[in-house]
Amino acid sequence: MTFWIIITALAFAVAALMALAILRGRSSDEPPAAYDLRVYRDQLKEVERDLARGVIGPDDAERTRAEVSRRILAADAQLQKGMQEGAQPQTLAMAVAGLSLVALVGGSVWVYSRLGAPGYPDMALASRIEAAQETRLNRISQSEAEARVPASPAAEPPTPDFLRLMEQLRAAVTARPGDLQGMILLARNEAALGNFTAAHRAQAQVISLKGERATAEDFVDLADMMILAAGGYVSPEAETALRAALTRDPKNGPARYYVGLLQAQTGRPDNAFRTWDAVLREGPEGAAHIRAIRAQIEDMAFRAGVNYTLPSEDGSAAPSRAGPSAEEIQNAEDLAPEERMAMIRSMVQNLSDRLALQGGNSSEWAQLISALGVLGDEPQARLIWQESQRIFWDNPQGLAEVDEAARRAGLME
Mean pLDDT for the stretch of residues 70-77: 80
pLDDT tens per residue, range 223-241: 999 999 999 999 999 999 9
* 352 vs 92 pLDDT, higher one: 352
Confidence band (pLDDT; 50, 70, 90) for 407? confident
**Contact (CB, 8 A) for 387 and 352:** no
Helices marked H in 82-141 — which ranges? 90-115, 125-137
* 124 vs 300 pLDDT, higher one: 300
Query: CA 357, CA 269: separation in Å to the nearest integer?
Result: 12
Q: Is the model's pLDDT at 352 over the cut of 70? A: yes
Instruction: Output the CA–CA distances (angstroms, integers) from residue 172 to 177, 178, 189, 205, in the order listed.
Output: 8, 11, 14, 15
pLDDT tens per residue, range 296-316: 999 998 888 888 888 877 644
Q: What is the pLDDT of residue 260?
A: 93
pLDDT tens per residue, range 145-169: 999 988 666 556 788 888 899 999 9
Q: What is the pLDDT of residue 182?
A: 92
Mean pLDDT for the stretch of residues 353-365: 74
Confidence band (pLDDT; 50, 70, 90) for 141? very high
Query: CA 395, CA 111: separation in Å to the nearest integer?
Result: 46
Mean pLDDT for the stretch of residues 48-68: 83
Average pLDDT over the chain reads 80
Q: Is the model's pLDDT at 191 over the cut of 50? A: yes
323 Cβ contact list (under 8 Å, min separation 6): 347, 351, 364, 367
* 179 vs 50 pLDDT, higher one: 179
Q: What is the pLDDT of residue 2?
A: 65
Q: What is the DSSP string of 290-335?
A: HHHHHHHHHHHHHHHT----PPPTT-PPPPP---S-HHHHHHHHHS
Instruction: Please check whether the domain covering 142-304 is classified as CATH 1.25.40.10.
Output: yes
Buried b (16+ CB within 10 A) or exposed e, 54-81: eeeeeeebeebeeebeeebeebeebbee
pTM to 2 decimals? Answer: 0.55
* 155 vs 135 pLDDT, higher one: 135
pLDDT tens per residue, range 239-286: 999 999 999 998 899 999 999 999 999 988 888 998 998 899 888 888
Mean pLDDT for the stretch of residues 193-199: 91
Region(s) of the chain under CATH 1.25.40.10: 142-304
